[in-house]
Amino acid sequence: MKFALSLGGIAITAGLVVSAQAPSADPVLQSMHDEMERSRKLMVSNLESPYFVEYLLDESDTFDVGATLGGIVTERRDQFRNLTVHVRVGDYKFDNTDYVGSGFPFGTRYDLERFPLDNDYMVLRRYLWLATDSAYKSAVEAISRKRAALRNLSVNEQINDFAHTEPVHLVRPFHKLTIDQKAWAGRVRALSALFAQYPGLRTSSVELNAGDGGYYLVNSEGTEIKVPDRLSYVRARASAQAPDGMTVRDYAIFQSIDVSGIPGDAEMTKAFKTTAENVVALSKAPMGEDYSGPVLFEGIAGPQILAEVLGKSFSLPRRPVLEPGRNAAFNSSELEGRIGSRVLPDSFDIVDDPTQKEWHGRPLFGSYEVDREGVVPKPLRLVEKGLLKGYLLSRQPVRGFEGSNGHGRMPGSYGASATGVSNLLVTSSGAVPVAELKRKLLEMIAARGKPYGIIVRKMDFPSSASVEEARRLLAGAQSGGSRPVSLPLLAYRVYPDGREELVRGLRFRGLNTRSFRDVVAAGDDTVAFDFLDSQAPFDLMGASGYVANATVVAPSLLIDDLELHPLEDELPKLPVVPPPELSSR
């Protein structure tokens, strides 16, 4: 493959850029480039011209098929292009973003409907022209409102609104979605029929989502990018009702960059049967009780808890400028202002490395060449010897840090990109065999005279909860004080004699970034956990318009002083009518 990455070579002078690039052969990039040149001249009355314009065009071709108990429920092929125009007025120090109304479309939105799929240069130009016009008018409105709001506020510290970066030129071909739809529909149907062997389940489903495409990114600093953005997955979910009415559930997911990377039927059958068996076992399991003490996060649960609690906290969203007395949705990070502080015992290091493509011969799911702001990432040391060394940064400066490290991965709030982990590699120099972790757990509970310890083997992250359930969890957690963490799906009591007992209906209380300082030991069983990162609470499945591929590689963890508490939901009664018989064929 031709390597077309070139860094630098283009001068930036006061926001006005002279692009020296040869015209691109790609009609999309060409039309973006040409319309961009013209957009610099945008001006309304005596207000300022844009200092930065960016076109981000996502292109996607997807095939979805979903089935339940052997019957297809949905089957859809969809192609679309989605254009996002970022226009910044003002300058890098102070612009129209980072205000509560930034990104809000003020005024005219032309009736453009969907962005054309055919590459007709003239029509593409027209669409870019009208979309830029709307974005510019909104930007001008936003900056004047932001200035007005700031008149009544005293600002302690002026942080720049946008960081400079090197222009990048990178063009890669997109992959065409090649998929045998009929064969896949048949596989999904057959996999969903597995659940018919478990009459105790209340709901079950299997879905395939195969997608190919990528994005084009052109900005007025000279960046010109076309890179693939690919994702396919097969996911199974099942739920049942315990005798007291509580809903219990489990899921399994296989993700891959290319649909051909999804494992064969044998592997999926095995996993989905385990899912069904887990749910049946949970529906019969006793309700968990209050617990405080050491918890062992074994296998996938180790990287899951790191991804959710620590991984998310390496992002520092910025509080937007607000009119006095107004509120805005905003979640600050627990790690803000804690550079140099301890987050883990000193045997731990954490690196986020989008450039690494493989780990022990296994492809890493979170790799990328350039982020969605056109910044080329480098390996990033986040934690060294247990101390916090850095954050995930986009082009939005945060206190003490200016300059992106290539982690602007998702659409964010208030005109900025949201950051997320790529391949988060967690290592410990003090790893011990996993069996040793369980022994240690038993020692600790024996020493404290506790009847049992807790092992968590799977967290509900990303969450498979319904939207209503997620809302209840958020509401419940707010009254509890700490930022909510997803529920443990598979939690076991482990008794002094080593016997294990599955329990249901527990949630963590007060599990946060500080909890990791109480890591007692790490296993030598490093596990890679692939997931779809999003901006939804608990990364709730299907709740976000954009997801980023990510991997966390981490060991099992034994953490002391955690609290678990039984869920206090009001439980519905069991149905009056028993379920219909399931026929075997």
Q: Which CB atom, from 360 or from 585, has the smaller least distance to another protein?
A: 585
Q: With respect to another protein, which residue has the nearer C-beta, 110 or 330?
A: 110
Task: Name which of 102 and 204 has its Cβ closer to another protein.
Answer: 204
Give the rounded distance of the alpha carbon of 498 from its chain centre.
37
* Contact positions vs another protein (CB under 8 A): 34-35, 38-39, 41-44, 67-80, 107-108, 110-123, 125-126, 128-130, 133, 136-137, 189, 192-193, 196, 202-203, 572, 575-580, 582-583
For another protein, the closer CB: 111 or 497: 111
The phi, psi pair for 485, rounded to 5°, reads -120, 145
In a 13 Å sphere around the CA of 374, the CA atoms on its Cβ side amount to: 28
Nearest CB to another protein, comparing residues 76 and 399: 76
Residue 269's Cβ-count burial label (10 Å; 0-12, 13-18, 19+) is: middle
Apex 303 CA angle, 301 and 304, nearest 5: 55
**Distance, CA of 401 to CA of 318 (rounded, Å):** 12
* 287 versus 574: smaller Cβ distance to another protein: 574
* CA–CA gap between residue 34 and residue 491 (Å, rounded): 58
Q: How far is the CB of 39 from another protein (least distance, A)?
A: 8
Neighbouring residues of 351: CB distance < 8 A, sequence distance ≥ 6: 379, 380, 381, 382, 424, 425
CB count within 10 Å of CB 156 equals: 4
* Shortest separation between residue 541's beta carbon and another protein, angstroms: 17
Closest approach of another protein to the CB of residue 34, in Å: 8
**Min CB(372)–another protein separation in Å:** 23
Q: How far is the CB of 125 from another protein (least distance, A)?
A: 4
Q: Are strands 168-171 and 203-219 parallel, antiparallel or unpaired?
A: unpaired
Nearest distance from residue 115's CB to another protein, in Å?
7
Q: What angle do CA 68, 70, 73 make, to 5 degrees?
A: 45
CB of 185 to another protein, least distance (A): 10
Residue 386 neighbours by CB under 8 Å, 6+ apart: 342, 343, 344, 345, 346, 347, 348
Nearest to 132 by CA among 220, 58, 47: 220
Q: Name which of 42 and 225 has its Cβ closer to another protein.
A: 42
Nearer to another protein, 435 or 582 (CB): 582
Please compute Rg for the chain using Cα positions.
25
The length of the chain in residues reads: 585
Q: Are 310 and 352 in contact (CB under 8 A)?
A: no
**In the complex, minimum distance from the CB of residue 27 to another protein, in angstroms, rounded to a whole number:** 8
- Outline where DSSP puts E strands in 220-258: 224-228, 231-241, 247-256
In the complex with another protein, the residue whose CB is nearer, 132 or 315, is 132
| Residue 116 C-beta: closest distance to another protein, Å | 4
Shortest Å, Cβ 386 to another protein: 49
- Indicate the residue among 40 and 342 with the shorter CB distance to another protein: 40
Roughly how many angstroms between the first and final C-alpha of the chain, as a whole number?
Answer: 49
